[in-house]
A and B are shown apart, each in its own frame.
Chain A
Amino acid sequence: MKVLRTIPVFVLLVFFAFPALVHAARIGDVTDTDWGEQTFRFLSLRDAAVRNAVLGSVFMGVGCGLFGGYVVARRLALFGDTLSHAVLPGVALGFLWSRSKDPVAIFIGATVAGLLGTFVVAWIRKTTRVKEDSALGLVLSGFYAVGICILTVIQQMEFGNQSGIDKFLFGQAAALSSEDVSLMGVVAIGALMMVTLFNKELLVTSFDEGFARSVGVPVEFIRYVLLVGLTFAVVTSLQAVGVVLVSALLITPAATAYLLTDRMGTLLLLSALFGVAGGLLGSYGSFLGNNLPTGPFMVLACTSFFAIAFFCGPKHGLVSKWLRRRNRVRQVSLENTMKAAYQVLEAGDFAKESVTVGALAARRRTSVTEARREADDLVNAGFASMLGSDDPGPRYSQDARLSLTPAGWERACQIVRNHRLWELYLTNEVRYAADHVHEDAEKIEHVLGEKVVRHLERILKDPQRDPHGSVIPSLEDIERGSGLSTNPASATGYFQQN
């Protein structure tokens, strides 16, 4: 960043040295070092070049985003990459032909080269044994190499030096002319029209081409529309993003949207939004950095969106998945502690209202410290409370006493019930041996829902004891609460109240 800050200072010095240049100042020639003021300059859209860059980014985001949605859904990413590299010789030839940066000449040259590239891919695939991925790689590198060669020749020519032809490699949004921007606008409107007019045809050909053909959709025509539109989107974006990275603008926003939704319509909308946002952020970044190449900035912005969706997406995001898993692990641990407390109470015929941490540790087969930590977790979750909290001494020994709250008692009863019902189901219905069922029940007890429990009860005819002879806690036991019983005989057993 330090380097970035020194560049404006240097430019400023040049400006003071050559006052005449100030009148010719273009947007990129940064005149002050204050980032806030620069931001204001960018946002106020005062300069024509900024306006062009912003408008261009919006159009490009919409165009590339919409076409990109189909590129990703149809698995054409590699094709998009090839197409974007194959246009380079056309750009160079268009430049040579017009001897200037004439947008129309370059547009025509690039379109012809792009379509020629896709034709060569199809030709190689049809006539030889070479598979599609190799054919794509072949055309990508071959065409690109030709383009670079012609470009080098141009730069050595007398008109080539100030041409700005090099901008096509890495992109320069600030160098967009209003003609460039209107071409981009045409592509964006075309993309919008294509999506609305051919919505269902595009959907069915992308999903199931054979079926599309069988219901009479003109599959070839739709593919042709998509291909030509895609070529136009790539060619018009070249100025802003550059040949090298333009395919990222097709792939990255759409791939980000693909992580976030399961519907094509939403995917296209999000993809266009990410495209626009990435384009704007990129041109802003490039503007702040004194007209550094725009392409890398835009791709960086889009890639950051992807990274955020990848890690934090609500459904498929890694962090969200991790959080969900952690919650589950925590829940299982809490439930196991409650179950242990229940079992300790049960072993004492429910005569007492509370259990000691020492007894809990013995039941859980862990250290007193570990049991103590688990007990604290229960307390924090509101499932239990510590008794005798006035006295700090015993709180930290194994004699500290833990009492389940009504919520804790209810959950403990449910878990024990689930466990014992499942064991009974496995032995009676699935014919497992009684000593084989515990491990399975240990896992199942945490995930059995009330619906399945009701079903199990029906199958097992409202049982009262599990295969090992322990009483299955009933609804009445839950309502009774822990240790509130005047009769410490035992739990009353499941469904005895009926």
Chain B
Amino acid sequence: MAHPPPLEIHDLTVSYDRKPVLYGVDVVVETGSLVGVVGPNGAGKSTLIKTIMGIVQPNGGWVKIFGQPYRKAVTRVGYVPQRESVDWDFPVSVMDVVLMGRYGHAGFMRRVSKRDRRIASECLEKVNMQPFSDRQIGNLSGGQQQRVFLARALAQESDLYLMDEPFAGVDAATETAIVELLRDLKERGKTLIVVHHDLSSAREYFDKLMLLNMRLVAYGEMEETFTPDLLQKTYGGRLTILSDVAGQAAGRSEFEQEGTPKL
């Protein structure tokens, strides 16, 4: 194969303390996809991301990034972890954090170069955080912190991006900025896999959906996957919001005719 896919997952099974979290997941994501990963709490969305990155070890199956195991494709993958996963009182500046995105390129025990600094600075510019580059990261709003994480991922200059809930707890302005950024990356031929918690906006933000609930319920274009039937299968009627969204999905054509594409 001349161009192996950015992400190929085969029969992936992951469990914590013998309790399965992901079971027999098979999926191939094509170049230039903007994929939203949705599913109820505890569906294994974050676990999927972490397993792809090699942070969590699977019990079975395998993951290939551009046809290679993760360790060989390190510089081709950018990562945005959940914002709550780090201690924001940690004594580092915004610039320090974004520079971490260059560590994979700098190599083990090497210092970051002037070029790395310039790239980091440009990435801060892209998320409008350049004026804050010297600030300690705890003195930022939630949205600003999320944008720092995005800038760090941009600094990785990767081809495949994995993002864990980048929209969680951010202000409306940041949300818009992130959507624009995702679109821009997609235009430039990058592949994006984004864990998302809000079904109603998922339809707007992404081109493809990965419906996950321990098993992969469905993966495909938005029109094929955002259906009442599949959503019902994913959420299993556990959430009250589901019936609303499913109803909206069913009556989608009416909504669009009325000129209200936003759910």
Mark the stretch among B35-43, B74-82, B197-205, B212-220 that contacts chain A: B74-82
Q: Who on chain A is nearest to B73 by CB?
A: A216
| In the assembled complex, A142 has its CB within 8 A of some CB on chain B | no
Q: Are A200 and B111 in contact (CB under 8 A)?
A: yes
Given the known inter-chain contacts A197-B109, A214-B77, please indicate yes or no for A203 contacting B92, CB distance below 8 A: yes
Q: Which parts of B126-169 form the interface with A (CB within 8 Å)?
A: 136, 138, 152, 156
Closest Cβ of chain B to A374, distance in Å, is: 36
Chain A hits for B97, CB < 8 A:
207
Chain A hits for B53, CB < 8 A:
210, 213-214
| In the assembled complex, B71 has its CB within 8 A of some CB on chain A | yes
| Residue interface mask A275-309, B partner, CB < 8 A = 1 | 00000000000000000000000000000000000
Q: Are A198 and B109 in contact (CB under 8 A)?
A: yes
Q: Are A267 and B54 in contact (CB under 8 A)?
A: no
Given the known inter-chain contacts A203-B96, A214-B79, please indicate yes or no for A264 contacting B91, CB distance below 8 A: yes
| In the assembled complex, B177 has its CB within 8 A of some CB on chain A | no
Q: Are B91 and A73 in contact (CB under 8 A)?
A: yes
Closest Cβ of chain B to A356, distance in Å, is: 48
Q: Are A204 and B103 in contact (CB under 8 A)?
A: yes
Partner of A218, one of B86, B96, B108, B111: B108
Given the known inter-chain contacts A197-B109, A262-B136, please indicate yes or no for A217 contacting B92, CB distance below 8 A: no
| Residue interface mask B72-106, A partner, CB < 8 A = 1 | 00110101010001110011110011011101101
Chain A hits for B85, CB < 8 A:
208, 210
Closest Cβ of chain B to A261, distance in Å, is: 6
Q: Which parts of B51-68 form the interface with A (CB within 8 Å)?
A: 53-55
| In the assembled complex, B28 has its CB within 8 A of some CB on chain A | no
Q: Who on chain A is nearest to B86 by CB?
A: A208
Partner of A207, one of B79, B86, B156: B86
Chain B hits for A214, CB < 8 A:
53-55, 74, 77, 79
Give chain B's interface residue range (CB within 8 Å of chain A): 20 to 34
Closest Cβ of chain B to A72, distance in Å, is: 9
> How far is B96's CA from A262's CA once the two chains are assembled, in angstroms?
11
> How far is B74's CA from A214's CA once the two chains are assembled, in angstroms?
7
| In the assembled complex, A211 has its CB within 8 A of some CB on chain B | yes
| In the assembled complex, B112 has its CB within 8 A of some CB on chain A | yes
Give the total of A residues in contact with B, Cβ under 8 Å.
Answer: 28
Chain B hits for A207, CB < 8 A:
86-87, 90, 92, 97, 100
| Residue interface mask A228-266, B partner, CB < 8 A = 1 | 000000000000000000000000000000100111101
> How far is B103's CA from A198's CA once the two chains are assembled, in angstroms?
12
Q: Are B55 and A264 in contact (CB under 8 A)?
A: no
Q: Are B55 and A263 in contact (CB under 8 A)?
A: no
| In the assembled complex, B186 has its CB within 8 A of some CB on chain A | no
> How far is B152's CA from A215's CA once the two chains are assembled, in angstroms?
11
> How far is B103's CA from A214's CA once the two chains are assembled, in angstroms?
10
Closest Cβ of chain B to A273, distance in Å, is: 16
Q: Are A263 and B103 in contact (CB under 8 A)?
A: no
| In the assembled complex, B252 has its CB within 8 A of some CB on chain A | no
Chain B hits for A263, CB < 8 A:
91-93, 96, 136
Interface centre among B92, B101, B104, B152 (most CB of A within 10 A): B92
Q: Are B81 and A210 in contact (CB under 8 A)?
A: yes
Q: Are B93 and A203 in contact (CB under 8 A)?
A: no
Partner of B74, one of A198, A215, A261, A267: A215
Partner of B100, one of A204, A218, A267: A204
> How far is B89's CA from A264's CA once the two chains are assembled, in angstroms?
11
Q: Who on chain B is nearest to A263 by CB?
A: B91
Q: Are A216 and B91 in contact (CB under 8 A)?
A: no
Q: Who on chain A is nearest to B85 by CB?
A: A210
Chain A hits for B74, CB < 8 A:
214-216
Q: Are B100 and A203 in contact (CB under 8 A)?
A: yes
| In the assembled complex, B183 has its CB within 8 A of some CB on chain A | no
Given the known inter-chain contacts A73-B90, A203-B96, A262-B136, please indicate yes or no for A213 contacting B81, CB distance below 8 A: no
Chain A hits for B104, CB < 8 A:
215-216
| In the assembled complex, B50 has its CB within 8 A of some CB on chain A | yes
| Nearest 4 Cβ contacts at the A-B interface | A215-B104, A262-B136, A216-B74, A214-B79
Complex A-B: 11 CB contacts under 8 Å: A73-B90, A75-B87, A200-B111, A204-B100, A208-B86, A208-B100, A210-B50, A211-B79, A212-B100, A213-B55, A215-B103
